[in-house]
Structure 1
Amino acid sequence: MNPVLMALLGGLFTWGMTAAGAAMVFFFKEIKPKTLNLMLGFASGVMIAASFWSLLLPALELSESTPLPWLPVVGGFGLGGLFLYAADRFFPHVHHVEDEPKGRSGVKKAAIRRSILLVTAITLHNIPEGLSYGVAFGTIGSAKTATLASAVILAIGIGLQNFPEGAAVSIPLRRDGQSRMRSFMYGQASGIVEPIAAVIGAWLASSISWILPYALAFAAGAMIFVVVEELIPESQNDSHLYGHSATLGTMIGFMVMTLLDIALG
């Protein structure tokens, strides 16, 4: 099958998982903090493991024959982090937004602003996720560790962590006064960029051979930036009240992703 088509199918799957998570708004108006911390921790573990097994390891293998084998891995990883850092400067995240002045109109305005930033932040961070498994599909056969199984497992892992992301968009929107349907539509729409980014990543990786290790490492750097900047801090909210649920979720997520990648890859 054409790698671009496989990447599109993977993107539709991860988008569907985002929509499934967003659909939780039809059943719940809010998620218990302990449960949300566990889900975010699990997503963090999945993305950390995927960054190494499915992205950095193939990038290192592909760059071993180059004069400076560390350059594509280290340079691409750094560029991925810088890309997300620059995006972070232009699109401040929800926890960076100060509350508006007190009063009914001020509270409503603050809720609308939070909603816009929430959807924007999640949508923006779905782009490197789509690129990551798109590149993985585009590099199939280029290296020993760049297999169809590893690309599929990466897409599945990102799909698993998209479920809590979808819920993390739609349920706060509902809590801020949006209708259930509108909250769901915004939540699932935050994942629509993933199929697009996946197709672009697969096309670039399959068309330009020298860019492969850089692209893989770039995707890994972007994903690790998201984990450290967003998922882990959010998962540690009120950790003194809810114990080690986020940490346990991270450990479980890493082990599950590692097991799937080694057993099936």
Structure 2
Amino acid sequence: MEAHVLYALLAGLFTWAFTALGAALVFLVRNPNQRFLDGMLGLAAGAMLAASFFGLLAPALESAEESWGGLAWVPVGLGFLAGALLVVLLDRYAVGLRLFRPLVRSLGERGNRRLALLLVLAIAMHNLPEGLGLGVAFGAAALGLSEAITLGGAIALALAIGLHNVPEGMAVAFPLRREGARPAVAWFYGQLSAIVEPIGAVLGALLVAAVVPSLPYLLALAAGVMVFVVVEEIIPSAQGNGSKRLATWMAVAGFLLIMALDLTLEG
């Protein structure tokens, strides 16, 4: 396995581990504190927004300037828009898929099986493009395709996605636990929702190596995915349960954390 692909795979496994960690909380508590969940989501929102800019959009613009000059925003804007549209298309058309149906038959009642399918599939469809973006970042950094893309920035991006994955693992595992699933079963499907991230990361690394001129588009596409998910899903979820101020301050903290980490690692 080539080094840049290996790095992307390890990064995908790293973010998957955070999902597994979040889901593992079902072994400790049956119903987590809502303020804790809102705070974690707020932290993840800020972290992902910072990672989208410092780790993806800024390098995309700098890379595009080499051939587009003052119009560098054109390919970056197109890629960013494509990323947002990708999330919309996945949300709209993935609902009818039955990829996970054989995996959820071990749950007892029909309602539990359907709940597991919908939860795992919904989270997995968000995680796939995030994995692709992670692979693009690590692949481009490891191959030295652009001076704007650093390994430190890619690591900061992985950490931001990992922070986001903790409450996602909980979001799958705890509803199943409340529906009567055993803790081990709830954890299994919680971590399963992120298994697509290592796969997406490897695909992203292979793609960026094969199509070097498309680097600004790919980086911007990954940023579009991240920002769209944050604005449509994470922020409303974090602020919709009476913890608006807490979630907002945690988002500020998450942004500062990833900004500091990115600049420190880059230096």
The TM-score with structure 2 as length reference comes to: 0.88
Partner Cα separation in structure 1 for residue 51 and residue 150 of structure 2: 14
2:204 aligned partner: 201
SS of 1:244's equivalent?
helix
Unaligned runs of 5+ in 1: 93-107
Alignment of 1:3-18 (within 5 A): 3-18=4-19
Q: Give the drift of 1:238.
A: 2.2
Measured in 1, the distance between the counterparts of 2:41 and 2:136 equals 24
Q: Which digits, 9 at most, give the CA deviation of each residue in 1:88-107, with x for residues without a partner?
A: 22246xxxxxxxxxxxxxxx
Deviation of the 1:33 alpha carbon: 1.2
Is residue 74 of structure 1 aligned with residue 91 of structure 2? no
Partner secondary structure for residue 139 of structure 1? helix
- Structure 1 partner of 2:189: 186
Per-residue CA deviations over 1:146-169 (Å, capped at 9, x if unaligned) read 111111221122112211211121
Aligned equivalents of 1:52, 1:231: Cα separation in 2 = 17
- Residue in 1 aligned with 2:147? 144
Give the TM-score, by structure 1 length: 0.89
Matching of residues 140-179 of structure 1 within 5 Å = 140=141, 141-179=144-182
CA distance in 2, matches of 1:180, 1:173: 9
Superposed, 1:34-183 pairs within 5 Å as 34-67=35-68, 68-91=71-94, 112-140=113-141, 141-183=144-186
Q: CA deviation at 1:210?
A: 0.9
> What's the Cα RMSD here?
1.6
Match of 2:232 among 199, 224, 229: 229
For residues 122 and 37 of structure 2, the distance between their equivalents in structure 1, rounded to whole angstroms, comes to 18
Aligned residue identity for 2:186: S
In structure 2, list runs of 5 or more residues that go unmatched: 96-108
What letter is aligned with 1:222? V
**Relative to 1, partners in 2 of residues 1:196 and 1:243: Cα closer, same or farther, differing over 3 Å?**
closer
Identity across matched positions, percent: 49
**How many pairs were matched up?**
248
CA-to-aligned-CA distance 1:98-121 (integer Å, 9 cap, x gap): xxxxxxxxxx76665443222111
Q: For 1:65, what is the secondary structure of its paired residue?
A: helix
Q: Is 2:256 the partner of 1:263?
A: no
Partner of 1:6: helix, strand, or coil? helix
